[in-house]
C-alpha cells in the first residue's frame, strides 16, 4: 500500500513526455482507470494528447485536472540521476516531473482506486482532465477539453488542480485563486539619425522614458483580502543598431501585469493607453491576454481540502493566490470551484527535480479525503 503512489510516479517519470510530445505519457493512467469503470474519451487536438475520464453519471462532479507534459531537462549530464530514470535516494524520488506534476497524477489515481474500493457507488461522479500541453502554449490542451465539456453542459462542480503548491512542508499552502496575466508588446516609433545631429532625428528611447517611469510608479490598486496589489513589470527592452553613433528609430518594450480581481484587463488597457497618449508617444501596442484572475472563496471544495490536509498532516493550511498562472484559469470562468494543491514546489523546473516519497503517500490520503467529504453522505 505505501509504495503504490511511488511506483506509479516512477512509471510516469520514465516516459520522457517533454512538452508538447507526450508520447505514451498518459498510457499508465488509462491502464489504471479503465478497469475501475471509467469511461475514457480521447480529446486530443493537433499534436496534443488530451484525456477525459469519467466515473458515474450524476452530480456533483468532482474533477482532477493535471498534465503529463514536463519542461525540458537542460543538459542531462548536470543531473545527479538521469532525469527520465526515476531514482529513489534517501527520502526522495528524483526525476523530471516528480513534483510537477506526475507525483500528483499518481496520488490522485491511487486515491481514486482506494476510494472506489470502499464506495463503488459514490454520491456523484469523478472526472479527470489530463493534458499534454500545460507547460507549452496551453492552446490545444485544457482549453479544448473545457470548451467541449461546456458545449455539452458537462462542466464539473469542483475541480482540484494538482499543481505543486506547497512551500516548506506538505499541506502549508492551497491556491484558491490566481492573479490575471496581461502582456503588452509595444513598439515606440521615432526617427533614426546621427547622434551628432539629434535635431534631425526623434529618439524613441528619450520620448518613452517619462511614460515608462509613470507606468512603473503607478499604483494600480491596493489588492484585497485575497490578492496582493496589481504589479507592473518590464521584462524586456530593446533599441538601437549596436552602433554608438546612431539614434534608434524604434524602441521595443514588453511589459506584464499580474492583476487582482480589483481590476479587469479592459480597464488596465485603457489606463495604459491614456498614459501613453498623454505623453505624446507614437506607438503600436499589441495585447496578449494570458488569463483572467479567479478566486474560489471558502466553501465545499476549499473546506474539504483544508479539512483533509489537517487530518492527514496536522497542518493548518494557508490560502494563497500568489505565483504564476495554471490551467485553473480556463476552468474557473465556467462557474467551477477550483483549488490547487500538490507537493512542494522547491525543485520544479530545476535540475534534480525531486519529491519526498512520504509526501506522495500523504498526498494520496488527502485527495482521497476530498472525495470522501464531497461524494459520500455525512
Sign of the CA dihedral with 274 first, then 276, 281, and 284 last: negative
- Cα(66)–Cα(128) distance, integer angstroms: 8
Q: Please check if 297 is assigned to a binding site.
A: no
Give me the helices (H) in the chain, please: 4-13, 27-33, 103-118, 142-151, 204-217, 265-278, 300-313, 328-331, 357-375
Q: Which of 24, 13, 73 is nearest to 49 (CA)?
A: 24
Q: How far is CA 157 from CA 62, 86, 187, 331, in A?
A: 6, 35, 43, 10
Catalytic residue among 69, 133, 327, 372: 69
Q: Please check if 78 is assigned to a binding site.
A: no
Q: Which long-range contacts (CB under 8 A, 24 or more apart) does 269-276 make?
A: 269/182, 271/218, 271/220, 272/184, 272/215, 275/211, 275/214, 275/215, 275/218, 276/186, 276/211
Q: Please check if 67 is assigned to a binding site.
A: yes
Task: State the first-to-last Cα distance of the chain, in angstroms, to the nearest integer.
Answer: 26
Is 134 one of the annotated active-site residues of the chain?
A: yes
Is 219 one of the annotated active-site residues of the chain?
A: no
The helix/strand/coil state of 165 is coil
Catalytic residue among 22, 45, 133, 134: 134
- Cα(235)–Cα(8) distance, integer angstroms: 39
- Cα(45)–Cα(47) distance, integer angstroms: 6
Q: Which residues are documented as binding site for Zn(2+)? A: 67, 100, 135, 163, 349
Catalytic residues: 69, 134
Amino acid at each position: 500500500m505505501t509504495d503504490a503512489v511511488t511506483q506509479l510516479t516512477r512509471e510516469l517519470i520514465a516516459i520522457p513526455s517533454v512538452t508538447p510530445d507526450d508520447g505514451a505519457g498518459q498510457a499508465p493512467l488509462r491502464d489504471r482507470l479503465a478497469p475501475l469503470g471509467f469511461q475514457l474519451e480521447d480529446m486530443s487536438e493537433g499534436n496534443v494528447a488530451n484525456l477525459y475520464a469519467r466515473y458515474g453519471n450524476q452530480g456533483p462532479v468532482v474533477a482532477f485536472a493535471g498534465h503529463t507534459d514536463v519542461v525540458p531537462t537542460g543538459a542531462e549530464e548536470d543531473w545527479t540521476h538521469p532525469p527520465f530514470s526515476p531514482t529513489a535516494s534517501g527520502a526522495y524520488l528524483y526525476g523530471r516531473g516528480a513534483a510537477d506534476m506526475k507525483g500528483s497524477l499518481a496520488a490522485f489515481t491511487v486515491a481514486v482506486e482506494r476510494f472506489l474500493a470502499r464506495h463503488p457507488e459514490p454520491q456523484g461522479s469523478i472526472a479527470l482532465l489530463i493534458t499534454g500541453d500545460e507547460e507549452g502554449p496551453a492552446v490545444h490542451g485544457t482549453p479544448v477539453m473545457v470548451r467541449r465539456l461546456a458545449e455539452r453542459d458537462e462542466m464539473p462542480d469542483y475541480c482540484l488542480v494538482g499543481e505543486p503548491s506547497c512551500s516548506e512542508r506538505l499541506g502549508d499552502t492551497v491556491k484558491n485563486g490566481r492573479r490575471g496575466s496581461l502582456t503588452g508588446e509595444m513598439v515606440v516609433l521615432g526617427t533614426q539619425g546621427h547622434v551628432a545631429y539629434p535635431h534631425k532625428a526623434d529618439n524613441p528611447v528619450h520620448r518613452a522614458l517619462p511614460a515608462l517611469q509613470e507606468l512603473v510608479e503607478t499604483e494600480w490598486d491596493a489588492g484585497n483580502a485575497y490578492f496582493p496589489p496589481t504589479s507592473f513589470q518590464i521584462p524586456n527592452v530593446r533599441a538601437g543598431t549596436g552602433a554608438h553613433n546612431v539614434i534608434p528609430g524604434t524602441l521595443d518594450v514588453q511589459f506584464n501585469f499580474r492583476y487582482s480581481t480589483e481590476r479587469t484587463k479592459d480597464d488596465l488597457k485603457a489606463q495604459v493607453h491614456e498614459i501613453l497618449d498623454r505623453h505624446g508617444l507614437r506607438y503600436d501596442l499589441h495585447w496578449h491576454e494570458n488569463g483572467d484572475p479567479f478566486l474560489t472563496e471558502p466553501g465545499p471544495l476549499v473546506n474539504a481540502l483544508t479539512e483533509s490536509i489537517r487530518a492527514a498532516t496536522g497542518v493548518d493550511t494557508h490560502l494563497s493566490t500568489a505565483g504564476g498562472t495554471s490551467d485553473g484559469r480556463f476552468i474557473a470562468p465556467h462557474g467551477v470551484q477550483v483549488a490547487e494543491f500538490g507537493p512542494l514546489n522547491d525543485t520544479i523546473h530545476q535540475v534534480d527535480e525531486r519529491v519526498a516519497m512520504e509526501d506522495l503517500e500523504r498526498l494520496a490520503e488527502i485527495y482521497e479525503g476530498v472525495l470522501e467529504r464531497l461524494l459520500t453522505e455525512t
